[in-house]
Structure 1
Amino acid sequence: MKKMQDLDPIDLKILALLKQDSRLSHKQIGALVHRTGQAVGARISHLIEQGVIERYTLAIAYPQKQFIQLFLNEPRFSEIENIINHFEQVDEFYKVMGNACYMVVAHFSPQELNLFIEQISKWCRYSVESVIKKI
């Protein structure tokens, strides 16, 4: 996998433009970085092959967003992973190193969050941080 510090200024600019709007065509990006659309396409393909670009995605503005830390009571990783992966409101799910065992980024309504907590309480302790404003 290529490291970010190994990328040249053109690749970094292409990444910044895609991060702002992944719908931009290669030709549009090329005009902004002074390259042809074909050259931009080749660079993007190379960034994908190198693992720098994982995927193109869409960010949806949900009315609620939570950051949930999970602290397992017992080392039963597969059970909690199966439970968490069944919730469609989970946007991101990471096994982490530090105080918590997992970090969940989700968009539960208050009622859904209550159901989620009831499900996971058998397996772990948790800390929920709810977003009140995006800055």
Structure 2
Amino acid sequence: MRTKTILTNGDVKKIAAAAERHAMARNWPVTIVIFDDGGHLLHLNRLDGATLSSIEMALAKGRTAALGRRESKFYEDLVKQGRVAFLSAPMTGFLEGGVPIVVAGEVVGSVSVSGVKSEEDAEIARAGIAALEL
């Protein structure tokens, strides 16, 4: 039997605080979400000024990253390269901004952001994950 690494509440708070600091330092109004490895919501925060639609986008991108075990941008690129049949997959967040949290080669969750340019969303998510100092 294997031992499974999981995100603690302290980990989630650390990720969320770092992601929020990164976004606020740039005046980026975004929604930040964190999921466990099963795609279950652990944290959601819509910063002041973030659109309501950013909530749904962040949720979708984060679930895609957690369940797909890779960045949501991977799926965006598949579709852009003509693999449109992939749109029927059971995931919905095929835009950049969902980033898996990987510990010792295992995905333990994801961080997802929506509200600014997709590459900036991913930048914020990575800044949050970096707070874990993996």
> Aligning the two structures, in what range does the TM-score lie when normalised by the shorter sequence?
under 0.3
Q: TM-score, normalized by length of structure 2?
A: 0.24
TM-score (norm 1): 0.24
Bigger RCO (CA 8 Å, 6+ sep): 2
Larger radius of gyration: 1
